[in-house]
Amino acid sequence: SVIGVTASVISVVFNSVMGIVFAIYILFRKEILAKQAKQIVYAYLPRKAADEALYIARLSNTMFSKFVTGQCTEAVIIGLLCFLGMTIFKMPYAPMISVLVGFTALIPVFGAFIGTAIGAFLILMVSPIKALWFIIVLQQVEGDLIYPKVVGSSIGLPGIWVMLAVIVGGSVNGVLGMLVSVPISAVLYCLIGRSAKGRLEKRNITIDNL
C-alpha cells in the first residue's frame, strides 16, 4: 500500500511539473505555433472551411479567456469579502474558511454552495446563529451580486444555460467537466445564434417579426 501511494504521489507531481513546463513552452512559442497551425489549416481545408475553423478557434480562445478571468476574479472577490465580513463580525476560522470559499468558488454555480456548506458546518460548532448568518449573507452576495456581474456578463451566457452546462459537465467528467462545460457552452451558444441569424436573414425574417 505504501509503495502504491508513493507511486501515485510521484506520478501526480511528475505530471503536474511536466504540464507546467509544457504550458510555459507553448506560451513562449505561441506565435510560431499559431502560424504553423494556420498554415496547416489553409493547406488541407477549403478556404471557406479554413476561415470558419479559425473563427471558431478565436471565439473559443476569447470565451475560455473571459471565463477563466471572470471565475478567478469572482474567487478572489468572494474570498476577500468573506474574510472581511467574518473578521468584522468576529466569526471563527475566518482565514481558513475564506480561503476554502475562494477556492471552491472556482467551480461554476455550485462551488460557492460547497464552500458555504463546509464553512457553515465549522462555524456551527462554535455558534449556530453566526453559522446561519454566514449562509444567508454569503449566498446572497455570491448568487445575486458577484456571479451574475462578474462571470455571467463576461461570457454572455444566460444563467439557465450556465446551470445546465455545469450539471451536464459534472455528470460527464466531475469537477473538470464543470470547469470546461461553461466556456464550451458559451462557444456553442454564439455559433448557434450566429447560424440562426444568418438563416433568418436569408429568408428575409427579422427578429422583431417573430
Residue-level pLDDT at 55 = 92
Residue-level pLDDT at 44 = 92
pLDDT (average), residues 62-69: 87
pLDDT digits (tens, 9 = 90+) for 2-17: 888 888 889 989 998 9
The DSSP result for the chain, as a single string, is -HHHHHHHHHHHHHHHHHHHHHHHHHHHTHHHHHHHHHHHHHHHS-HHHHHHHHHHHHHHHHHHHHHHHHHHHHHHHHHHHHHHHHHHTT-TTHHHHHHHHHHHTTSTTTHHHHHHHHHHHHHHTT-HHHHHHHHHHHHHIIIIIIHIIIIIHHHT--HHHHHHHHHHHHHHHHHHHHHHHHHHHHHHHHHHHHHHHHHHHHTT--GGG-
pLDDT digits (tens, 9 = 90+) for 139-192: 666 655 566 555 556 667 777 787 788 888 888 888 788 888 888 988 998 889
50 falls in which pLDDT band (50, 70, 90)? very high
